[in-house]
Amino acid sequence: MLKKEFIDKLDKLVEKYQKLQEELSKPEVIQDVKKFRELSKELKELQETYGLYEKYKKLQKELKETKELLRSGDKELRELAEEELERLNEELKKVEEELQYHLIPKDPNDSKNVILEIRAGAGGEEAALFAADLFRMYQKYAEEKGWKVTILSSNKTGLGGYKEVIALIEGEGAYSRLKYESGVHRVQRIPATESGGRIHTSTATVAVLPEVDETDIKIDPQDLRIETFRASGAGGQYVNTTETAVRITHIPTGIVVQCQDERSQFQNKQKALKILYAKLKDYYERKKQEEIAKERKEQVGTGERSEKIRTYNFPQNRVTDHRINLTLYKLQDILEGKLDEIIDALKAKELEEKLQTVAKGS
């Protein structure tokens, strides 16, 4: 049976659901396209939980009626009631579990697109090659999910690695899946640059930020220093002779972004601003969280960037996610974008921890 705190929350949800239905039937709301769309979306988000709660109440009623039949003097009727009681208890247990998960607060960013940033860490050229491998892995995963990947900014090395690559990943549920990838990724393998056949350990840092709508965060134009320069490719080769590359510095925070991949200064500026908005929102949110709680460090999947989250061991065909002690011997499959097994396990662990928090009423 659900705890009283869960029932109270569900009763409030029912009240909210019914109020939304009333609002959506009002002529003035129907005529206001924007408001009607917003309320309809809100109603749709509550619909499944509302339906499950109605099913829960129906099963509770049936359970009560079936227990009354157990007191019947008819032996055959009692036997049927016992069988029905077993079925109802099993079904009720499943519905209770589902309802508890539905009460877990949803991440408001889950439906957003992603700004993915991968940087080579320790290991020189090998780290840059590993960064390229990771980017390809996420491209493959995005392709499998039907998401669109657009490179916003990149800094390639002569051997085809990336010192840094920043991309926009657009698609349903992109952030809800990729947010678990933030952190330090470590590789153990014999580098292509190593002639002695020795295994090296290198790292790359992955940051997954939700794409930010410009209305979500205000930037004072006076706080920005915008510079232009000539775009250059790997090895310092000039891509063009005009100053199309853009570097933007947010003076109060010291955050610097630059973009040189596009042929026009305007396009590079727009892409750089997109990255800046995401980085600023992340910066302010992190600062706020550090002041009020260390929530990110307590939860699976948020991935502190200084934290080593995963190791890719080539000699043993092994991938280990250190946050949940999950080891899989299918490295090549994972590098080909088969990430669901890891992400599902991380998601399940996070849900379990959040459920415990909800149960405590905090």
Question: Would you state the pLDDT for residue 291?
Answer: 63
Please report where in the chains the tokens 């991938």 appear, as a residue: 319
C-beta of residue 208 within 8 angstroms of C-beta of residue 116: yes
What pLDDT score was predicted for residue 103?
Answer: 81
Range of lowest pLDDT (77-81, 184-188, 216-220): 216-220
Clarify whether residues 208 and 303 are in a common domain.
yes
Residue 82 lies in a domain: yes
239/144 same-domain check: no
Give me the CATH number covering residue 318: 3.30.70.1660
Q: In this structure, are 228 and 283 located in the same domain?
A: yes
The answer to whether residue 289 scores a pLDDT higher than 80 is: no
pLDDT confidence of 298, banded at 50, 70, 90?
very low
Of residues 323 and 294, more confidence is placed in 323
What pLDDT does residue 238 have?
44
With bands split at pLDDT 50, 70 and 90, how would you rate the model's confidence at 167? very high
- Name the pLDDT band for 354 (thresholds 50, 70, 90): confident
Q: Are residues 191 and 232 in the same domain?
A: no
**CA count, 13 A, side-chain hemisphere, 123:** 30
* Domain harbouring 255, CATH code: 3.30.160.20
Q: Do 230 and 205 reside in the same domain of the chain?
A: no
Average pLDDT over residues 82-92: 90
Is a pLDDT exceeding 60 seen at residue 300?
Answer: no
Residue with tokens 């990430």: 339
Same domain, 121 and 195: yes
Across the chain, what does the average pLDDT equal?
A: 85
Are 132 and 71 within one domain? Answer: no
- Phi then psi for residue 163, to 5 deg, are -70, -35
Bigger pLDDT: 159 vs 361: 159
**Residue 247 maps to a domain:** yes
Of 239, 222, 234, which is closest to residue 165 (Cα–Cα)? 234
Task: Answer whether residue 320 shows pLDDT above 90.
Answer: yes
Total Cβ atoms within 10 A of residue 93: 12
Sign of the torsion angle spanned by Cα atoms 43, 47, 50, 54: positive
Q: Does any domain span residue 359?
A: no
107 within a domain of the structure (yes/no): no
Helix axes of 75-102 and 33-69: crossing angle, nearest 10 degrees: 150
pLDDT, average across residues 263-278: 85
Residues 127 and 166 grouped into a single domain: yes
- pLDDT in the model for residue 293: 54
Domain that holds residue 251: 221-290
Confidence category of residue 278, pLDDT binned at 50, 70, 90:
confident
Count how many domains the chain has. Answer: 3
The answer to whether residue 362 is domain-embedded is no
Q: What is the mean pLDDT of residues 142-170?
A: 92
Q: Is the domain of 30 the same as that of 92?
A: yes
**For residue 132, pLDDT beyond 80:** yes
**pLDDT at 302 (0 to 100):** 39
pLDDT surpasses 80 at 39: yes
| Span 103-120, average pLDDT | 87
- Do 344 and 208 lie in one domain? The reply is yes
Taking the CB of residue 103, how many other CB atoms lie within 10 A of it? 17
Same domain for 201 and 334, yes or no, is: yes
Percent of the chain with pLDDT strictly greater than 90: 40
- Confidence (pLDDT) at 143: 96
Looking at 257, 290, 323, the residue that finishes a domain is 290
Last residue of a domain, one of 264, 290, 316: 290
Per-residue pLDDT at 326 = 96
CB 29 within 8 A of CB 20: no
Q: For residue 240, what pLDDT is reported?
A: 52
Region 5-20: mean pLDDT is 89
Determine, yes or no, domain membership for 360. no
**In-domain check, residue 204:** yes
Per-residue pLDDT of 212-248, as tens digits, reads: 877 677 888 888 898 888 776 544 444 455 678 888 8
Classify strands 318-321 and 326-328 as parallel, antiparallel or unpaired: antiparallel
* 154 lies in the same domain as 241: no
Angle (CA) 357-320-345 rounded to 5° is: 35
* Higher-pLDDT residue of 52, 101: 52
Domain end position, chosen among 237, 256, 290? 290
Is residue 121 in some structural domain?
yes
pTM of this structure:
0.70
